[in-house]
Structure 1
Amino acid sequence: MRRWLWMPAVLWVIVLAGGWWLSQRHRQMQPELEDPVIAVMLKDPARIAKGHYLATAGDCVSCHTARGGQAYAGGRPLPTPFGNIPAPNITPDAETGIGNWKFRDFWHALHDGVGRDGEPLYPAFSYTSFTKVPHDDAVAIFAYLRSLPAVHQVNVPLGLRFPYNLRSTLTAWRAMYFKAGAYQPDPSQSESWNRGAYLVQGLGHCNECHAARGAWGGIEASTALTGGRIPEQDWYAPDLSTQANGGLQGWSRQDIVDVLKTGQASKGDAVGPMADVVANSTQYLRDDDLQAIADYLLSLPARAAPARVRSNLSAQSLTDRGSAVYGERCENCHGKDGMGIPGIYPPLNGSASVVEPTGINATRVVLLGGFPALAAGNPRPYSMPPYAQRLNDADVAAVVTYIRQAWSNRATGIQERDVATYRHTPID
């Protein structure tokens, strides 16, 4: 029995030793290119312009900019189940940003998930995806970041609880969930497909939201792009397959391009965090890159059929209540048939955001309102008013359940207790 009592201590020794070894290994690494060569590359205007485009495709500004703050100056808290991780300042300020970084420091952070001083980085910085960014693209991104105005803004301390605030605990996590390596093109696929795969898997880091996470915050390879709840934010990022039982089942190439370019498509609109992604990132992508992303997503396989859903609308009182609320509050815009008005009011019949497995998205839109992405292709989007102050939990549960099971929709219902939870979830 005593032998088992020693196991936790032994495990901690292994973890701490692993963290020390990782930091020492980093300090012994040599840059792939000499600093003088890199220095010339970092001043190349064409490379800086390329880096601007790539940083936009990677949506770096969304995480590294606090609400109302200066771009890339950090400070925005990234919520996790283990505590908040504030994004750092990545402007070229010498004291508080990356002004004293060499490219090799940036490369090791992006590719290896290792900080400038050799410490393992927390995976709230999506190096599990960014490791796929090739060397030349990383140089371009670094060149762009170094060209930004320096902003002196001290980084906010970590808000992680013990023992997660000990970076040495990341050794075991990395062993389970992280494999370094730049994207390798699949020779059996087209150039466009490979470009799309790189943007989705790597630079766009789509899997960081569109996959379920385990108890330790890691993502299993088998769940890639199959949809998942975004931790601590109470939004659901849907499965990205367009094939049978996929979250985007029935979506066309044009639907994918449209929603990334304007936030709107015939099958539904971008909501919640995805509206921010469209506003800050995907609307600026070149048409060939949007087509490449569509090529890749259209190739994702069919999914297993979900368990048969037993309708929650068997009780006539619930049916009547949800239908009545819909008729009073929703029908004028979204239509009696749930098809909305193209380009103005999104459809609810068959919408990926409506029928996703949890019902979170529809519930939060009813409570908080619907605010589409502000994009060049949709400069004056129609917004939906919030109903948190007009509808009680029972009414919200009834109307969301009705919408998720009306017309061709066959999703599970929503409980009042779920509405109460989502009502009090912070917006950001």
Structure 2
Amino acid sequence: MDRKWGLRVLAVAAALSVTQAHGKVDSTQAAQLGNELTPLGAERAGNAEGTIPAWTGGASAPPHYRSGMHHPDPYADDAVLYQISHEHTEQNASLLPEGLRDLLERYPEYYLRVFPTRRSAAAPERVYEATRQNALNAELVENGNGITGAAAGIPFPIPQNGTEVIWNHILHYRGDQNHFINNQAVVLNGNANLIKRDRQIYYVYGREGMTPDKLDNTLLHYKYTVTAPARLAGTSLVVEDPLDQIFSTRKAWRYSPDNRRVRRLPSLAYDSLQPDTSGLATADVVDSYNGAPDRYEWTLAGKREMLVPYNSYAVHQKGIPYDQIVQAKTLNPELLRYELHRVWVVDANLRYGYTHPYVVRRFYIDEDSWQILAVDLRDKNGELIGLQESHPINYYDVPMFGSTLETLYHLKTGNYFVDGLDNNEPMYNFEAQLSPRDFSPQALRREGN
């Protein structure tokens, strides 16, 4: 390990071992929400240069939008401000995640298209109200591995440490339920292999009417069935995700059509590999980070203005062939949009005694939505080995703000993983009729027969 890097990591860990602020703020601080701060805790005002505007409520659905459509781009008329290629990384270094700088320098043909900043993130009014209540009542418990006094909204809209910020991402609103079909792509040596999955999610923490006393330590229920290619069709997975995964571990069951059996998976968390990803994706990289925070020390490094993926409607549009999006080395840069936004920067350092390919992670988290937008990944030697990006949109019919595509670039091998390709599938159904009974091993067995 580089000596300076190693000393920095040890210093961070030592500081964190004695510094763990916990949670709720007083009524004077909470009164800033909806005033100086947005209802979810971002700075409402723009920046001094005028390159980041004030937040005015987020994007609304265009007049011609109808439920069930792929979401039309409300900013389609925006012109590109400028492009950044490998020739410009040095002059823009302070604005780019380190992994993105590496990607630009590694592939001279790759570039970023930078557009005007549009603060489109929005959530339902009930989520804003729940966030105000959470600010007064939410606390970290179990050394940061769980929370109490929060439901439905952002738990820590005025965060005091890195653990609170990562919980804000884990618990940000994604709708009450969702039924959708999309594809993931494993890109090995420039060749993409697609897997199509029919997916269902039933959210518990954020749903309407939820209160802390009703949570029963359940975050969400998740299920998918592979529909293509034929060799994997019928393979299914169901997951029960607890809120505090130290108190109760994540449970997952997988159905195989080969033997028509449902078996409990020993682990689908932390560094265990996601099925059918050719070893490119660990379980905890879904949605850029998920699961218990207990194996990392979390440091809040402040807030910065950064160029990050945002308002990625162009790559979301209906009918785009997947091979036009997923190219040999990267996603097609002509379909991606980057904007200047304020992000929370959080460093995660793997705790002593645990193993993971990503020993050090740096997260860039959107101040308006708490969605992770980019992650730099380092190995045990402190060497930069990966970049994650989340390409988000405002699903303004809900409304909620989340990724339409997620990527994980393995910088040393040139391979990468993509999840969320939905351009040639029915659009997400946020009003699907689902219940927790649909997410059991028994349900998997019934549906498989």
Tell me the TM-score normalised to structure 1 length.
0.24
Rg larger in 1 or in 2? 1
Tell me the TM-score normalised to structure 2 length.
0.23
Larger RCO: Structure 1 or Structure 2 (Cα < 8 Å, ≥ 6 residues apart)? 2
More strand by share: 2
